[in-house]
Chain A
């Protein structure tokens, strides 16, 4: 306290100001301008924050929505199918499923389900296709299966709607024979898909194998990822299982690519429009803010400030505003993106901090442009005219 007290005589103040680094005056002018015109500065900053928030939310969504939609598309079921080479009735090697799982599981969220098929006969001699599978996995893979009740016990079977009319119209237990071996089954539930599954009877894999001795002949795999990642998985699986035929399910792959590309393009166009509009908003506000300060501009020039200093001052002010707006807006924008992810996809959006540099650079650039335009206009005017209030 005592030292500051001694610094109050005019000569000492002048001395201190002269010795003080040039930058402190610069910083003070920046700060004082914002503090003295709080409302105008707040309005300009608010525009910056909102624009940065909207831009952040859009960029976050653009990156994240594709992953979100891909997860939705996996509800369409398997996108890779593995069958025995040369004729589908051929069995796959016994370790095929474990191999498929080892190839796809690390990192990638993949789901593999094995199916084995046999044609059995009912009591009255009708042929019916019986399938052995793992019910827990089939349920995860084929979300669209409409099942009244999943089997959970011995000798329970899941019966397709159309098969039910033939083998067990009144839901009574029924008998099937395969190569002379008979089995007694109880219908646990009905299966409805509108496709081939409706004509089949599904059994638990181990029970099916005990009865028929037929090993799995088809593995359906759902790999979550981009088209290129799925292609890689197909190649890996083909290398791992030389005796099997591995192919992508084109119907699913092409449908997904088509819808995803269109959605991405629309989202891209929309996000660009929204970001441009936000930039326009910043431009309008900031130009007003700088133009409004033409008196400061004139005084600085009248007091002998160089062109470079004045330009630098206004540019620094705009850049500072842009940076502060970008930081605040970024966090608000992340919040908005997370909310949209929750509301629309019922899944959290992972904040992408990688977009921050773009938001920051964009905000500062727009702020600089909005400062430079009015300065160029003002430069042509004599300071005296501005100070006279014309």
Chain B
């Protein structure tokens, strides 16, 4: 009899059930989407924060002082120590290699360039920086690309495209992402926009650099010291300096966890267990420690301007999303219970009839709770799928990447849906059961 009452109730009151079901579905969908977004927002914003550039720098341990004023290096070029380029792919072998978004080696060299038009004897000192643009490397079985295009996303290049022509409007293959960047194995260079203006050079021109005729592939604009410099593939800078394999410093861009009191402790004073925990947390300090381990004779340090601030920004945004998610959960819970309360309140006459026929309070409540459970399960499943789609849509349209939903979330969401539906129905069911059947049947609700 019990299943039949429930079944008939769904068959004959399809409209009311539909309304409550829609409310539950929408409420669960919003809750699912918000939980998925809130759990993933930290990682997403962390990646966006990488657009501020590298947060770690690796330098040789025995390095001499940088003597640099406004981007002009006054240090003798061969002075000081170097890192070995061959050690760099090992960065991919550190414990937190998946958190390392990219790295770029830098080798500044002071070179003489022919100044202006023709007159070969008029020379000028300019800094040439050797680096990776988008270099193919491999470590073990992994292939990966890295370079300034990943670690320095604010660098803009205007220049020649693959076929040697300047970018044309409306051609996909002529997008700024592909044009102007020299190949890492080539002898082509980029020159800073202010240096280009001073020398009156355009992409495609050649420039006499340290006695070599190099092709200017693109004009670089960074809003910083590089605007007055030449940027070349690392191998070319090493040839000019006469030190194959030499790298002055490496910028590393890593996804890190906001720093706390534990992060700043000295790993040498920790007990082995604490040290393991520290080592296995993606703090900027522990990643620096691991970089020092894999690159011999190196000193890795956080770039405080980037590293210190991203933690604050990240925790603010995460905190904000947490509060908004709580508001969303609250609103969905309220919507579900409002819909349930309304649906039950309308059925007082039915309750009166059941009670007049001898049904106890428990039996009547059981019917309503069974119906609520069924609604919650159906609405919960539909809402979870809709919420997953919604979260994916948000991830794709805002962050251009997937927001993945943990499968473990499904039972949790379903449980929340059932609890909220029960809680929302409880008050209404209690009132419906308490209602005197005589009044209900006489229609004096």
List residues of chain A with CB under 8 Å of any chain B CB.
40, 43, 47, 50-51, 54, 57-58, 61, 65, 68-69, 72-73, 75-77, 83, 88-89, 117, 119, 126-129, 142-146, 162-163, 166, 192-196, 199, 217-218, 247-255, 258-259, 262-263, 265-267, 269-271, 273-274, 276-278, 280-281, 284-285, 287-288, 291-292, 295, 336, 340, 343-345, 389
Given A88-B70, A258-B48, 14 other A-B residues pairs in contact with their CB atoms under 8 A:
A43-B338, A54-B327, A117-B69, A127-B65, A129-B69, A144-B304, A163-B65, A166-B65, A251-B154, A274-B328, A284-B23, A284-B339, A285-B342, A389-B349
* Minimal beta-carbon separation of A58 from chain B (angstroms): 7
Q: Does B345 contact A (CB under 8 A)?
A: yes
A280 CB contacts on chain B under 8 angstroms: 23, 26-27, 335
* Minimal beta-carbon separation of B153 from chain A (angstroms): 7
Residue of B nearest to A218 (CB): B70
B75 CB contacts on chain A under 8 angstroms: 127
When the two chains form their complex, are residues B330 and A254 in contact, meaning their CB atoms are under 8 A apart?
Answer: no
| A68 vs B27: C-alpha distance when bound (angstroms) | 30
B160 CB contacts on chain A under 8 angstroms: none
When the two chains form their complex, are residues B349 and A292 in contact, meaning their CB atoms are under 8 A apart?
Answer: no
* Minimal beta-carbon separation of B274 from chain A (angstroms): 23
When the two chains form their complex, are residues A288 and B37 in contact, meaning their CB atoms are under 8 A apart?
Answer: no
**Could you say which of B66, B302, B308, B345 has the most chain A C-beta atoms within 10 Å of its C-beta?**
B66
When the two chains form their complex, are residues A262 and B48 in contact, meaning their CB atoms are under 8 A apart?
Answer: yes
Residue of B nearest to A275 (CB): B331
9 contacts between A and B (CB under 8 A): A68-B316, A69-B313, A129-B65, A193-B303, A199-B68, A247-B223, A250-B224, A344-B320, A389-B443
Residue of B nearest to A386 (CB): B443
Q: Does B239 contact A (CB under 8 A)?
A: no
A89 CB contacts on chain B under 8 angstroms: 69-70, 72
Residue of B nearest to A274 (CB): B328
B41, B302, B319, B342: which contacts A287 (Cβ < 8 A)? Answer: B342
A-B contact count (CB 8 A): 230
Residue of A nearest to B152 (CB): A251
**Could you say which of B44, B67, B319, B342 has the most chain A C-beta atoms within 10 Å of its C-beta?**
B342
User: Which residues 301-358 in B have Cβ within 8 Å of A in the complex?
Assistant: 301-309, 312-313, 316-317, 319-321, 323-325, 327-328, 330-332, 334-335, 338-339, 341-343, 345-346, 349
When the two chains form their complex, are residues B301 and A199 in contact, meaning their CB atoms are under 8 A apart?
Answer: no
When the two chains form their complex, are residues A76 and B52 in contact, meaning their CB atoms are under 8 A apart?
Answer: yes
User: Which residues 208-229 in B have Cβ within 8 Å of A in the complex?
Assistant: 221-224, 228
A128, A142, A194: which contacts B301 (Cβ < 8 A)? Answer: A194
A218 CB contacts on chain B under 8 angstroms: 70
| A253 vs B153: C-alpha distance when bound (angstroms) | 12
Closest 10 CB pairs of A and B: A88-B70, A288-B342, A250-B223, A255-B52, A281-B335, A389-B443, A284-B339, A277-B331, A144-B304, A144-B308
Q: Does B107 contact A (CB under 8 A)?
A: no
When the two chains form their complex, are residues A273 and B33 in contact, meaning their CB atoms are under 8 A apart?
Answer: yes
Q: Does B63 contact A (CB under 8 A)?
A: yes
* Minimal beta-carbon separation of A173 from chain B (angstroms): 19
Q: Does B57 contact A (CB under 8 A)?
A: yes
When the two chains form their complex, are residues B346 and A292 in contact, meaning their CB atoms are under 8 A apart?
Answer: yes
| A5 vs B445: C-alpha distance when bound (angstroms) | 36
B70 CB contacts on chain A under 8 angstroms: 83, 88-89, 117, 217-218
When the two chains form their complex, are residues B30 and A276 in contact, meaning their CB atoms are under 8 A apart?
Answer: yes
When the two chains form their complex, are residues A277 and B332 in contact, meaning their CB atoms are under 8 A apart?
Answer: yes
| A266 vs B65: C-alpha distance when bound (angstroms) | 45
When the two chains form their complex, are residues A292 and B222 in contact, meaning their CB atoms are under 8 A apart?
Answer: no
When the two chains form their complex, are residues B394 and A269 in contact, meaning their CB atoms are under 8 A apart?
Answer: yes
When the two chains form their complex, are residues A193 and B305 in contact, meaning their CB atoms are under 8 A apart?
Answer: yes
| A192 vs B57: C-alpha distance when bound (angstroms) | 13
User: Which residues 185-229 in B have Cβ within 8 Å of A in the complex?
Assistant: 221-224, 228
Residue of B nearest to A249 (CB): B223
Task: Report if A255-B49 is in contact (Cβ < 8 Å); known contacts: A54-B327, A274-B327, A343-B323.
Answer: yes
* Minimal beta-carbon separation of A107 from chain B (angstroms): 25
Residue of A nearest to B323 (CB): A340
B316 CB contacts on chain A under 8 angstroms: 68-69, 72, 344-345
| A254 vs B308: C-alpha distance when bound (angstroms) | 18
When the two chains form their complex, are residues A250 and B222 in contact, meaning their CB atoms are under 8 A apart?
Answer: yes
Q: Does B74 contact A (CB under 8 A)?
A: yes
When the two chains form their complex, are residues B27 and A119 in contact, meaning their CB atoms are under 8 A apart?
Answer: no
A51 CB contacts on chain B under 8 angstroms: 331
When the two chains form their complex, are residues A72 and B223 in contact, meaning their CB atoms are under 8 A apart?
Answer: no
When the two chains form their complex, are residues A263 and B33 in contact, meaning their CB atoms are under 8 A apart?
Answer: no
Binary contact track B12-46/A, C-beta < 8 Å → 1, others 0: 00000001000100110010011001000100110
Q: Does B130 contact A (CB under 8 A)?
A: no
**Could you say which of A195, A270, A277 has the most chain B C-beta atoms within 10 Å of its C-beta?**
A277
When the two chains form their complex, are residues B309 and A76 in contact, meaning their CB atoms are under 8 A apart?
Answer: yes
* Minimal beta-carbon separation of B342 from chain A (angstroms): 3
Task: Report if A271-B342 is in contact (Cβ < 8 Å); known contacts: A128-B65, A193-B303.
Answer: no
* Minimal beta-carbon separation of B125 from chain A (angstroms): 11
| A291 vs B44: C-alpha distance when bound (angstroms) | 46
* Minimal beta-carbon separation of B90 from chain A (angstroms): 21
| A274 vs B37: C-alpha distance when bound (angstroms) | 13
Task: Report if A162-B65 is in contact (Cβ < 8 Å); known contacts: A144-B308, A270-B324, A284-B339.
Answer: yes
Task: Report if A61-B324 is in contact (Cβ < 8 Å); known contacts: A262-B44, A269-B394.
Answer: yes
When the two chains form their complex, are residues B345 and A292 in contact, meaning their CB atoms are under 8 A apart?
Answer: yes
When the two chains form their complex, are residues B23 and A162 in contact, meaning their CB atoms are under 8 A apart?
Answer: no
When the two chains form their complex, are residues A251 and B307 in contact, meaning their CB atoms are under 8 A apart?
Answer: no
Residue of B nearest to A278 (CB): B331
